[in-house]
Amino acid sequence: MVVKSLSPYNGIIGRPGLKAIQAVPSTVHGMLKFPAEWEVVTIYSSLLIPAECASISTSSVTPKEEKTRPANFTVALHPNFPGQEVVVGGTLSERGRTELCSVLKKNLDIFAWQPSDMTGVPRSVAEHRLNIREGCPPVRQKKRGQAPERAKAIQAEVQKPVEVRIMREVYCKTHMKNTINLKFLQV
């Protein structure tokens, strides 16, 4: 279907439309072929139309007005921890915001406000297991050094769960270096 309009294109036909009229488009040759009652009709494009389209697409477009999003709100829920704030979306109505804050304040015991509040997950619920195939020995990875500031930050973050006994340090004897077999040393 060819439609005369103010668009730089005379007609826009999608894939379902092309399939319905059994058309074969060729962008390389700038033509469209489709069967009619007694013959195959070929529609050629002129060189002016692609040039017009290119000039329109590269011309300076007036910028659209950007929609301003309402600002998010930060709320300190716990009176003992005023530095720990929760961000509430600005798209909520005033009533929705107050209801959400009241529900969160009623359930303050659910959140971990400090490392000692993290109780961990019971092993009956979930337990961590390395996905290692039996018979495949572990490969010792090269130790990667960190920048001193990062190393201190990592150490501080790891120390928090260790203090509350969620994590513990494990020594693995298989990764010892320079092991000596005493059988061979006995002369």
* Per-residue pLDDT in tens (0 to 9) along the chain, 187 residues: 455 555 555 556 677 777 888 888 887 777 888 888 888 888 877 766 666 666 766 655 566 666 677 788 898 888 888 888 888 888 888 898 899 989 988 988 888 888 777 777 777 777 777 777 888 887 878 888 889 999 999 999 888 888 887 778 877 665 555 555 555 544 4
The pLDDT value recorded for residue 185 is: 47
Query: Among all chains, which residue has been given the structure tokens 């910028």?
Result: 63
Of the chain, the end-to-end C-alpha distance in Å amounts to 98
The pLDDT value recorded for residue 62 is: 60
Q: What are phi and psi of 116, to 5 degrees?
A: -70, -15
* Closest C-alpha to 34, from 46, 23, 26, 50: 23
Q: DSSP character for 88?
A: E
Q: Which helix (H) or strand (E) holds 152?
A: helix 148-163
State both tokens at 118. Answer: 């993290």
The pLDDT value recorded for residue 125 is: 74
Spatial neighbors of 78 by CB under 8 A, at least 6 apart, are 84, 108, 111, 113
What residues pair up with 25 in beta bridges, in sequence order? 32
Query: What is the value of pTM for the model shown?
Result: 0.38
Query: How many Cβ atoms are within 10 Å of 18's Cβ, its own excluded?
Result: 14
